[in-house]
Amino acid sequence: MRVVRSPVAHGRLVSIDASAALALPGVHAVWTFADVAHIPPIPFRLTGLKALEPYRQFALAKDFVRYVGEPVAVVFAANPYAAEDAADLVELDIAPLDSIIHAVDEPGVFGEGLSTEPDIVRKGYGDVDAAFAAAHATVTLELSVGRHTGVPLETRGAIARYDEARDVLEMHGAAKVPWWNRDTIARLLGRERQSLQFYERHVGGGFGIRGEIYPEDVLVCAAALHFRTPIKWIEDRREHLIAANHSRQQTHRIRAAIDDAGRILAIDNEFFHDNGAYMRTHAATVPDLAAAMLPGPYRVPAYRAVGHIRLTNKTPCGTYRAPGRYESTFVRERLLDAIAAKVGVDGVEIRRRNLLPTSAMPYALNLDTLGTHIVYDSGNYALLLDKMLERADWPTLQAELKVRRAQGELVGCGVAMFVEKSGLGPFDTVRVSVKPDGKVEVVTGVASIGQGVETAMAQIAADELGVDYTGIAVIHGQTDRIDQGAGAFASRVTVMCGEATRLAAAGLRGKILQVAAELMQCSADALEIVNGDIRPVAGGRGPSMTLVELASVRSDELSVEDTFESRHMVYPYGVHVAAVRVDPETAGVTIERYAIGYDVGKAVNPKMVEAQIAGGFAQGLGGALLEEFIYDEAGEPLSVTFADYLMPTSREVPEFSVLVTEDAPSPLNPMGLKGAGEGGTNPVGAAIAAAIDDALGRPGAVTELPVTPQRLRAILATKPS
């Protein structure tokens, strides 16, 4: 399958002529909207506000095209070369319309009776207006985060196959939420859920962008069903950069009311979220999270957020690692730095004055997001700040930078703090079994997107069972192996699947001991499992047997399935410290030191946590200094190759240190787990912006990410106010 994409950002679709394409040898068919008109638009998975439903995307463009890269037709051919040649021959007659490029501009017309502002996210508590009226001072900023996204090593792809003998449609490819995708595509195609099965493959990272339902996924499945033959689709890199979900782009107009010591009395935040041309599966998730998570680790007595969801003629948006938090942390931490400058103290001190104390935990924020109330479950924010300042040798660092600045160097340092969310429910189900050969199998309802599911779940099961974790097979992402699963997103897997694994393994351990006790004619309480041996408890006497021996005669009884349910998320937190040097001639930024502290409650595998943080840091660095999708005023994308969309390489990613702490285990699950997937990314833009300000000696200089050389050169060229 090859997709024919719109070459214009906005226009009325007049006609499509596929005759030349169909005449090519090897071309089987060309589909347009008429061929898939029976398929409803792609629904929402998260935060699906009713007002957003008219803005969903169909598998193929219907009457209008709304971004460059929108699928308009698909070609089916015997091989990819014939398909690509045929796609080039499909003639599109599109009457151009004016494009909307800037989300901060007045809303335009999406369709009949529909504005390009589908909805407004409103959150808040307390008397904001009274707080501003009584304030000692106010601080006002306008801040922006540029459009970028996760760019996985391997582009998107899928293979769909219809097994007529079983009447089962199979989908092979990346899927972070295989069960939801399976059930949803089955509904779209009018089939029973069990007649469609998803098989996740090892295809690398997800980062939010991969594994959602895109138009191409629906088309591949529909085509396999229609043609009764396997259909393969792989996108090229240009397609990926213009068609897969973008993210991040927001502009915030924020103000804070403060007392004479710089303590926050209220925050008022209006922001504009550029969601691109359509509302895809994430719906309002990103602006909702941005509004809800902005207060961070600080006491904010009154708060108001008004988030305008705006559609523009750009690639539609979704989530990207730390969605809504990367943006709101940048905004909040810039605000804290501005407050510090206003009252004449440094950034560390202003944070200390505003931090929530440990005694406040659990702390109800009086806000909600993703269907849950935000209640910080545990945290010692001041302690982690102290640990990170000690790790960075803060007084010595400050003294060294002062000497270097006196010698004319532009060097500085910055701190950023944040609270993450993780462990999103509502459930995870796991089945743990002993096979006839004595090997243990863990079947989960999650997916692996590079976060180490196999290792972490094997460790948890092994600890509970008393066996070697290296001999445990962990099965994930296969919808035919377990009936339900929530998948991998929102840093949820270790928390939710980990506890479900522990519960199932504990149940299996009890069953193993009970069956063994029957065979050995003793009490189950008198037995234990150590390294796969079922034996009398320490100091006891009596018979023993191996798990392999037990399984060889009673394996049909050795299986337990259990579910862990949770209605509240857990909230890890962290501190990043950055030191940078600015080159006044090239306007380049060199990161000389970087330190990351993250409290995850309990680290099942500390090295894997550090690896997650490392990868997240590289992605956060890209959004801070390099990565951005640029469009011209007509909506033409200008970042369609890696020559234009710049990502950090090993040269740009500096050496950095990581401190993983376990000072605040979560009380919401027995192991005290919190997620670790997004803390490496969340505050990178904020920390680097603060460090650049310090290097320039100009508080508030950085107001926009990424801080590209062009933007930094413009800052250097302006005189301080």
Instruction: Read off the CATH number of the domain in which 528 is found.
Output: 3.30.365.10
257 and 394 in a single domain? The answer is yes
Contact between 579 and 591 under an 8 Å Cβ cutoff? The reply is yes
Cα–Cα dist 254/700, whole Å? 13
12 and 92 in a single domain? The answer is yes
Q: Is residue 371 part of a domain?
A: no
Return the pLDDT at 174.
77
As a three-state string, the secondary structure of 127-188 is CHHHHHHCCCEEEEEEEEECCECCCCCCCCEEEEEEECCCCEEEEEECCCCHHHHHHHHHHH
Instruction: State the residue range of the domain holding 216.
Output: 156-234
Q: Which two tokens stand for residue 623?
A: 């959004």
Q: Which of 100, 91, 111 is nearest to 14 (CA)?
A: 91
Q: Is residue 276 part of a domain?
A: yes
216 and 256 in a single domain? The answer is no
Beta-strand (E) ranges in 32-135?
Answer: 64-65, 71-77, 91-96, 109-111, 114-115, 119-125
Contact between 365 and 123 under an 8 Å Cβ cutoff? The reply is no
336 and 227 in a single domain? The answer is no
Cα–Cα dist 490/675, whole Å? 8
Q: What CATH number corresponds to the domain at position 50?
A: 3.90.1170.50
212 and 329 in a single domain? The answer is no
441 and 577 in a single domain? The answer is no
Residue for token pair 């000072």: 663
Return the pLDDT at 539.
76
Work out the angle between the directed axes of helices 684-696 and 325-343 (0-180°, nearest 10): 30
447 and 559 in a single domain? The answer is yes
Give kind and range of the element (H or E) at residue 272. Answer: strand 264-274
Q: Which two tokens stand for residue 716?
A: 């250097």
Return the pLDDT at 450.
85
Give residue 49's Cα distance to chain centre.
Answer: 20
Q: Is residue 108 part of a domain?
A: no
Which residues partner with 35 through β-bridges?
none
Give kind and range of the element (H or E) at residue 338. Answer: helix 325-343
Q: Is residue 151 part of a domain?
A: no
Return the pLDDT at 620.
98
Contact between 198 and 181 under an 8 Å Cβ cutoff? The reply is yes
Amino acid at 661: T
- The count of other CB atoms within 10 Å of the CB of residue 441 is 16
Tens digit of pLDDT for each residue in 187-219? 999 999 999 999 998 777 889 999 999 999 999
Amino acid at 302: A
170 and 209 in a single domain? The answer is yes
Q: Is residue 81 part of a domain?
A: yes
What is the residue-wise DSSP string for 603-648? -SSHHHHHHHHHHHHHHHHHHHHT----B-TT--BS--STTTS---
Is the sign of the CA dihedral 54, 59, 61, 67 positive or negative? positive
Q: Which of 552, 322, 514, 528 is nearest to 434 (CA)?
A: 552
643's CB contacts (< 8 A; 6+ apart) are none
Q: Which of 565, 594, 628 is the last residue of a domain?
A: 565
Q: Which two tokens stand for residue 473?
A: 């097979």
**Bridge-based pairing state of the strands 109-111 and 704-705:** unpaired
Cα–Cα dist 642/636, whole Å? 17
Q: Which two tokens stand for residue 628?
A: 């951005």
Q: Is residue 363 part of a domain?
A: no
What is the residue-wise DSSP string for 358-425? GGG-SEEEEEEETTEEEEE----HHHHHHHHHHHTTHHHHHHHHHHHHHTT-EEEEEEEEEE--B---
Q: Is residue 126 part of a domain?
A: no
Return the pLDDT at 719.
83
628 and 646 in a single domain? The answer is yes
Cα–Cα dist 390/503, whole Å? 39
Q: Which of 176, 202, 234 is the last residue of a domain?
A: 234
- The count of other CB atoms within 10 Å of the CB of residue 79 is 10
Residue for token pair 């699963």: 485
549 and 643 in a single domain? The answer is no
Q: Which of 60, 79, 97 is the last residue of a domain?
A: 97
What is the tally of structural domains in the chain? 4
538 and 629 in a single domain? The answer is no
In terms of phi and psi (left: phi > 0; alpha: psi -120 to 50; beta: otherwise), the region of 208 is: left
* Burial class (CB within 10 angstroms; exposed 0-12, middle 13-18, buried 19+) of 687: buried
Q: Is residue 116 part of a domain?
A: no
Integer-rounded Cα Rg, in Å, for the chain is 27
Query: Phi/psi of residue 216, each to 5°?
Result: -65, -35
Contact between 199 and 165 under an 8 Å Cβ cutoff? The reply is no
574 and 476 in a single domain? The answer is no
Return the pLDDT at 505.
98
Global pTM exceeds 0.95: yes
Instruction: Pick out the chain residues at pLDDT < 50.
Output: none
